[in-house]
Structure 1
Amino acid sequence: MNLDSRRLQYFLFGQNFADGVRITLVVLVPALLFLYLGQTQAGITISLGALCVSVTDLPGPLRHRRAGMLVCLACMLVVALVTGFARLNHVLMGAEVLVFSFIFTMFTVYGARAGAVGSAAMLIMILMMDQPLSPRQVLEYAALVTGGGLWYLGFSLAVNRLQPYRPAQRALGECIHAIAEFLRLKAAFYHSGTDLTTAYRNLVAQQVVVNEKQDAVRQILFKSRQLVEETTGTGRALVFAFVETVDLYEHITATYYDYAALHARFGRTGILQEVAGLIEQMASELDSIGLAVHANRRYPADGFDLVPQLDQLKAHIDGLPEREPGLNTLVLKKVLVNLRNMHQEVQAVLAYFNPQAPIYQQSTDQLEYSRFVSRQDLSLRLLLDNLSPHSAVFKHSLRMGLVCLLGFVVARLFVVGNHSYWIVMTIAFMLKPGFSLTKERNVQRILGTLGGGLVGVGILLLVHNTHAQFALMVLLMVGAYSFQRSNYVVSVFLMTPYILILFSLMGLGFRSLLQERLLDTAIGCAIAVAAGYLLFPTWESDQLHTFMRDVVRANLRYLQQLADNLAGHPRQLTEYKLARKEVYVSSANLAAAFQRMISEPKSKRRNSEEVHQFVVLNHILASNIATLTAAVTAARPAARRPEQLRPVQQAIAALATSLHKLGEESENLPAVPAVAGHHPSTEAAGEDDQQLTEQLAFIRTVSHDISKITDAVLA
């Protein structure tokens, strides 16, 4: 199966497509039913309520989804009643736009789901601005909107009851797919002629994706008591498989070597191309396993076995010294060992398809799952603490309120049309906390609107049969709602012709409608971009120090786990995996912030090359810590010689220095472990022992390099 075919299947069996189909059904059914009953406007209003609640139905534990939708219903009812009466007076309506835009944007302090609730409430307010409603009709409208929200809530809960495991299966499948792509990118390092700088940039970008997918699975699995507490069946299999995929990801990240030196030493032998081929084959099989989990189907009975190819690689490595006397192949043997470890982890993931496997109980009961997911603070104190000019959320909320008010004034005074609320809507959904995200979203909106407008006009000019137009509109709806969370430009590209066809079927002229939409979109985007640049701007370079501090702190904690192992202390599995998770999350956050920074104006970037080096060095450090931890854990527990512990001590001291430079308080810095008291091993230092010493020295070197590059970034 080629990559394009596999990606298409991931989409068709994915949560986004399932959500797109569900939202389309929930929106269409009341509209068509009430159209049949001769109550077209009532049906559209109910559909609007359902659509707004769907915005808050983000993937996650069922109780969180249900709570989010219920809060959204309450907010929608209040907003509908207030807007229905405030719209009778322009001044009152303007005041509502200012206040509600600020309040509902402040909801983001409580996380993405609460932010979606605020977005849904703002959408109701914006869509009601131009509704010609009498006071009596306001109550009816609010009731219908709330009824539509209840309709979506009931439908969503019913689907979840019928398929309780599908969201978790889809999330896990997408996580495995992301890890397979990460592994495929690792193979590029072994190909001759690879630009290592570009390869690292691609790898770091994919690391962000992997972290997002892993966090999505954690939220669904570890916050769902039913799944965690199951002792048999699908829930237990899902938990076990996820734990194994995270372990597999650790083995993949641990495959760091000095690739330039590898190519210089072994490039002419052809062995590195063989390694790359094996990694790509493993990535392809892992992707197939992920697709099987994703689509809820069996994996082929013959499974996955690369043992013959691994044995062949071993024979080739063992034969190199015979062909080239004096060639040291120890590093290739380390690569082979890591490949075997990854192969074993992939085999362990395959146990997902055998729910009776006894390994479930042994592998997952040691972990305290609740410690692996963050708890969202929902207290009023959090909101009050953020009502400060020093809070980024407060500044963004104030900017949102002022700019939405400006859009409302512009629409009322200067824009002629029946849908001038599109200006405020564009601003509300285009204005983001950071300028880079605002600029990116606005470019996507303009491109999607222009391209989608051309497609919509083409359909309406070429397809005159209303049934065919309706069928195309349904397909466009499914596509638009399927991509709304994953690819905004595609979502807008599909939504624009869908709206044009809808209004055309309702008897409105699509040409004037398209002109109005393009004009309003352009005005709204221009206001949003200008506000993002001029009004309380937030630049990623100002936020980077926090992300850098987090990643150094995480790597320091990870290194301390290794130091404990080297000192002969037994490994605490939960503590080790928590430290590993912190490294993954903080590294991904830093990489994402760096990607946003390089899309900002050049005048606002600071030391981008140095920051990129900082990102890469921390990735290299984490990879080497993982490599050594795996090797030390596999060996017989024993205290190491002081000369082996000293590089770790020096590395910890260097990282602690970097952490202090980045603003960590002195009392929060860790104590540097002493090496006195450890007795030297009586065993003779062998080849593996020498390799361990060299790798520890390399960790010390990387840690000192991080300290130096920290100075350069802060300069």
Structure 2
Amino acid sequence: MSNQSPVSWLLQQFQLQPGKPAITNGLRSLLILGVPIGVGIFTGHGAESAIATMAAWFVGMVNVDGVYRQKLIALISATISVTLVFAIANLVSTNLWLAIPTTFLVIFIVGLAGVFGSVAASVSLITGIMFVVSLARFSAPGNLSTLLLHSLLCLAGGTWTTLLSLGLWVVHPDKPATAAVAKCYNSLSKFVEVAGERVVHPQDIEDWEQQFVQAQDTVTQDLTVARSTWASVWTTQRGASLRGNQLLVLIEDANQIITSVVAQVELLAIASDHPLCSRLQREISQVMTQLAIAMQMLATAIAKGRSSVHLGDLDRSVEALEYEWQILRNQIVSKNNNLPRDEYWDLVNLRKLTTSFSQLAEQIHTDAEIVTDLQQGKRRNPINQDITLPKQPTTAEMMETLRCNLTFDSVMFRHALRLAVVVTLAELIAALLHIPRGYWITLTALVALKPNFGGTTQTTVQRALSTIIGSIIGITAILLIHNQWAIAFSLLLLVFTAMSVRSLSYTLFITLLTPAIILLLNMINAGGWQVGLLRIADSCVGGGLALIGSYLLFPSWERQQLPTQLAKTIRTNLAYFQQVIANYLNSQNTSVAALNSLRHQAALENANANAAAQRLFSEPRHVQGEIEPVMTLMIYIRNFYSSVTTLAEHQREFSGQYRFAALQELTDSMIQILENLADALQYRQTPQPLPILNNHLETIHEQTEQLYKARIAEIPQDPQTVTSTLQAVREQTPVFAELERIVNQIKIIHCAIALLQPSSR
């Protein structure tokens, strides 16, 4: 941010994420709020209807992905929770010294609920917001009949949202799974598009690597969601239908496509260091462009029910690449005995790359056929794939999770305690100083405070900026609009737009939501334009409390947590590497599902480690320590994963007839080093000295040289025949190239961890 102008930084905060506005969510929000508001205006009970409106709105804010059954559980839980805390807030609101400990207890539970996952965290957050608002705005002291009526209105509002949100459950029971698969292929398209930038702009490697990592993490997470959603849908329906099986194949094919793209990028990295690659740069770029377009067409066809995907442009680009490679090959091999070894090495690598593109194009053709069958309800070929269904946690397991987190060693326990202290303090300050609408201080502190300092800082800045701009909009609306119907229309328009862009920009979402809240509160109890100014001041105070609390109260600095995450990441990648190497050494036929599972787990842990590193970089500089070793470690763990994935992908062409004699010794040494590095991170120890790996690698290099000499010698006799020597060259060239890269990666990982440890103690 220091290199940006203020205007550039401000515009960046409102930049929309890739994607389209969720118009359906906006329309749903219009109905959620429009009905209770309309009923209140028609009946002349606007203040009472605001309770139902608020409950309906809050329940509608619960962020739940997945199948309808999961959404139903979440929405019912939210409805019951907001009704319960509404009643509790009303009962304790008359006594400050009863309200304060109640606030502490409720908010502590709200913070701790995050141990049960994102859905529980979302439900608990809106529950906490409802408690704070109810404590300040909807109290009915001493009147049990009014309290009962208001609680029923609250329950009705949440029930209305639940019924409206799940109205199409019976009509489209598999829609969530279809949408999840379509989103996965949409992410795949963006992933391939970013991968193609490696060819177009090879000089901007650092910027490209960041974009590639982000795109890879996104598609990995979307694949995880698609698998989980699929399993939930067809677990509920007790067995997958034909459509379910077809969606499952598309999910597993997406996993294979990710693998192929990672391998292609790795092969491009190897080939781009040599001049021959530039001869095919235009054709390679065109193929990757068409691959991205093809996957975008698949995503659209899955989402919108189209039955035809036209792949003619993709086929022509692949044919053009193969044709140009063949011309290049003929030019090279025509040199016969004068053929330089390095040029032939480059030629073999480029052949591997073109073959990979051809195989991926065939895969996409297969997926296009499945999409056609999916829309037409046909079965073209037998479908027989399995997927590991996620286990639903038992009550005993949930209680054990809770018990394990009731300790200061738990990040979530410390966050819950910190949240309770800060929110209770904000509530106490607002009450003792008699601050008008002081509950906005409490609300801002509740929403802004995150388990980590970086997240708190980002949310606080975004909310402060959004609140200032949104309050100006709200003040203007109050000054200019005096008709109740016009105010209601403006409120609904703001809510519709806010909910539509919620997934695209948090800052814009809050900016539009702020004037909507101001207008809603003005309908309940007219407060004039001063409401907007109070909101700005209170939000700044609440954000300040959140920042101070995050920094001073039981901080969970990422520097303390990161080594454990990195150790787990290395071990997961090591398990993947061990299985791949075992297949090379023993010609094992490991099931595709087992290898895919190991690869996917490694990719997930890489994403987790990257997220942890980003949290570290957002913390105060004096608590970060040395970040250069962390950055180096993140890069080379990713590179290690890419090399292993390339080896795994290459196994489809590996016959096992020719093997490197020193492969066993080399890989055993690699495994021992990586195990020690993981232990060094976990136990905060200095890693053991690095053993000599170059001797084994040199032995393999000599064998590779012998293969190349033998192949170059036989080319003049018959350059077109695929001899056993040529087959060995094709099989072993990628293996040696990746082993050489892995040795270098391990050396750099070892060095980074050695530098990291002193600053961790």
Task: Please report the TM-score for the alignment, with normalisation by the length of structure 2.
Answer: 0.84
Paired with 1:635 and 1:568, the residues of 2 have a C-alpha distance of: 9
Assess if the C-alpha contact under 8 Å between 1:208 and 1:592 holds in 2: no
Match of 2:730 in 1: 688
Q: Which range moves more in the overlay, 374-383 or 59-68? A: 374-383
Q: Which range moves more in the overlay, 340-349 or 297-306? A: 297-306
Match of 1:496 in 2: 514
Task: Report deviation, 1:604.
Answer: 1.9
Map 1:327-476 → 2, pairs under 5 A? 327-328=343-344, 329-350=347-368, 351-355=370-374, 356=377, 358=379, 361-362=382-383, 365-370=384-389, 378-417=397-436, 419-459=437-477, 470-476=488-494
Query: Aligned pair in 2 of structure 1 residues 81, 502: CA closer, same or farther (>3 Å)?
Result: closer
Paired with 1:376 and 1:360, the residues of 2 have a C-alpha distance of: 42
Does 2:645 match 1:626?
Answer: yes
Does 2:550 match 1:532?
Answer: yes
Q: Which range moves more in the overlay, 108-117 or 93-102? A: 108-117
Deviations 1:478-505 (A, max 9, x none): 2222344553211101112223344455
Query: Aligned pair in 2 of structure 1 residues 475, 303: CA closer, same or farther (>3 Å)?
Result: farther
Match of 1:670 in 2: none
The residue type equivalent to 2:531 in the other structure is L
Q: Which range moves more in the overlay, 19-28 or 237-246? A: 19-28
Paired with 2:554 and 2:350, the residues of 1 have a C-alpha distance of: 53
Map 1:149-168 → 2, pairs under 5 A? 149-168=158-177
Task: Report deviation, 1:701.
Answer: 3.1
Aligned with 2:247 (options 238, 245, 256) = 238
Aligned with 1:699 (options 742, 751, 759) = 742
Does 2:309 match 1:291?
Answer: no
Task: Report deviation, 1:258.
Answer: 7.0
Deviations 1:189-246 (A, max 9, x none): 1124532122112211222322332222222111222588655443333222222112
Query: Aligned pair in 2 of structure 1 residues 269, 302: CA closer, same or farther (>3 Å)?
Result: closer
Match of 1:317 in 2: 325
Aligned with 2:669 (options 650, 661, 679) = 650
Task: Report deviation, 1:420.
Answer: 1.5
Assess if the C-alpha contact under 8 Å between 1:549 and 1:664 holds in 2: no
Paired with 1:377 and 1:526, the residues of 2 have a C-alpha distance of: 40
Match of 2:259 in 1: 250
Query: Aligned pair in 2 of structure 1 residues 647, 271: CA closer, same or farther (>3 Å)?
Result: same
The residue type equivalent to 2:114 in the other structure is T
Task: Report deviation, 1:122.
Answer: 1.0
Query: Aligned pair in 2 of structure 1 residues 229, 565: CA closer, same or farther (>3 Å)?
Result: farther
Match of 1:73 in 2: 79
The residue type equivalent to 1:604 in the other structure is V
Match of 1:584 in 2: 603
Query: Aligned pair in 2 of structure 1 residues 592, 384: CA closer, same or farther (>3 Å)?
Result: same
Paired with 2:237 and 2:629, the residues of 1 have a C-alpha distance of: 43
Query: Aligned pair in 2 of structure 1 residues 390, 167: CA closer, same or farther (>3 Å)?
Result: same
Paired with 1:341 and 1:52, the residues of 2 have a C-alpha distance of: 49
Assess if the C-alpha contact under 8 Å between 1:57 and 1:68 holds in 2: no
How many residues align? The count is 690
Deviations 1:278-323 (A, max 9, x none): 21222133123223323x2315453455222112112222323566
Paired with 1:73 and 1:464, the residues of 2 have a C-alpha distance of: 33
The alignment yields a C-alpha RMSD, in angstroms, of: 3.0
Does 2:579 match 1:549?
Answer: no
Assess if the C-alpha contact under 8 Å between 1:50 and 1:150 holds in 2: yes
Paired with 1:91 and 1:619, the residues of 2 have a C-alpha distance of: 54
The residue type equivalent to 1:500 in the other structure is I
Does 2:644 match 1:635?
Answer: no
Match of 1:96 in 2: 102
Match of 2:140 in 1: 133
Q: Report the structure number with the largest CA radius of gyration.
A: 2
Q: Which range moves more in the overlay, 407-416 or 94-103? A: 407-416
Paired with 1:209 and 1:9, the residues of 2 have a C-alpha distance of: 12
Aligned with 1:189 (options 180, 184, 198) = 198
SS at match of 1:416: coil
Does 2:55 match 1:36?
Answer: no
Query: Aligned pair in 2 of structure 1 residues 266, 228: CA closer, same or farther (>3 Å)?
Result: farther
Assess if the C-alpha contact under 8 Å between 2:228 and 2:389 holds in 1: no
SS at match of 1:570: coil
The residue type equivalent to 1:220 in the other structure is T
Match of 2:30 in 1: 24
Query: Aligned pair in 2 of structure 1 residues 211, 62: CA closer, same or farther (>3 Å)?
Result: same
Paired with 1:152 and 1:598, the residues of 2 have a C-alpha distance of: 40
The residue type equivalent to 2:78 in the other structure is C
Assess if the C-alpha contact under 8 Å between 1:105 and 1:400 holds in 2: yes
Match of 1:3 in 2: none
Query: Aligned pair in 2 of structure 1 residues 288, 458: CA closer, same or farther (>3 Å)?
Result: farther
SS at match of 1:159: coil
Which ranges in structure 2 are unaligned for 5 or more consecutive residues? 1-15, 686-695, 697-702, 708-722
Task: Please report the TM-score for the alignment, with normalisation by the length of structure 1.
Answer: 0.89
Task: Report deviation, 1:376.
Answer: 9.7
SS at match of 2:166: helix
Q: Which range moves more in the overlay, 33-42 or 528-537? A: 33-42
Match of 2:700 in 1: none
Paired with 2:312 and 2:556, the residues of 1 have a C-alpha distance of: 49
Aligned with 1:559 (options 549, 566, 577) = 577
Task: Report deviation, 1:659.
Answer: 1.6
Q: Which range moves more in the overlay, 93-102 or 476-485? A: 476-485
Task: Report deviation, 1:86.
Answer: 0.5
Paired with 1:10 and 1:237, the residues of 2 have a C-alpha distance of: 26
Query: Aligned pair in 2 of structure 1 residues 531, 304: CA closer, same or farther (>3 Å)?
Result: farther
Paired with 2:277 and 2:485, the residues of 1 have a C-alpha distance of: 65
Assess if the C-alpha contact under 8 Å between 1:110 and 1:377 holds in 2: no
Match of 1:671 in 2: none
The residue type equivalent to 2:125 in the other structure is S
Query: Aligned pair in 2 of structure 1 residues 148, 414: CA closer, same or farther (>3 Å)?
Result: same
Map 1:245-284 → 2, pairs under 5 A? 245-257=254-266, 262-266=271-275, 269-284=278-293
Paired with 2:444 and 2:518, the residues of 1 have a C-alpha distance of: 17
Task: Report deviation, 1:433.
Answer: 0.1
Query: Aligned pair in 2 of structure 1 residues 28, 127: CA closer, same or farther (>3 Å)?
Result: same
Match of 1:175 in 2: 184
Paired with 1:228 and 1:347, the residues of 2 have a C-alpha distance of: 30
Does 2:611 match 1:617?
Answer: no
SS at match of 1:223: helix
The residue type equivalent to 1:98 in the other structure is F
Assess if the C-alpha contact under 8 Å between 1:52 and 1:124 holds in 2: yes
Task: Report deviation, 1:375.
Answer: 8.6
Query: Aligned pair in 2 of structure 1 residues 340, 460: CA closer, same or farther (>3 Å)?
Result: farther
Deviations 1:613-659 (A, max 9, x none): 21221222212212221221343365834333443333222222212
Give % identity.
21
The residue type equivalent to 2:649 in the other structure is A
Match of 1:569 in 2: 588
Which ranges in structure 1 are unaligned for 5 or more consecutive residues? 1-6, 667-674
Assess if the C-alpha contact under 8 Å between 2:32 and 2:60 holds in 1: no
Paired with 2:603 and 2:31, the residues of 1 have a C-alpha distance of: 38
Paired with 1:227 and 1:331, the residues of 2 have a C-alpha distance of: 48
Match of 1:45 in 2: 51
Q: Which range moves more in the overlay, 316-325 or 274-283? A: 316-325
SS at match of 1:530: helix
Match of 2:618 in 1: 599
Paired with 2:261 and 2:449, the residues of 1 have a C-alpha distance of: 38
Does 2:681 match 1:662?
Answer: yes
Q: Which range moves more in the overlay, 520-529 or 693-702? A: 693-702
Q: Which range moves more in the overlay, 648-657 or 318-327? A: 318-327
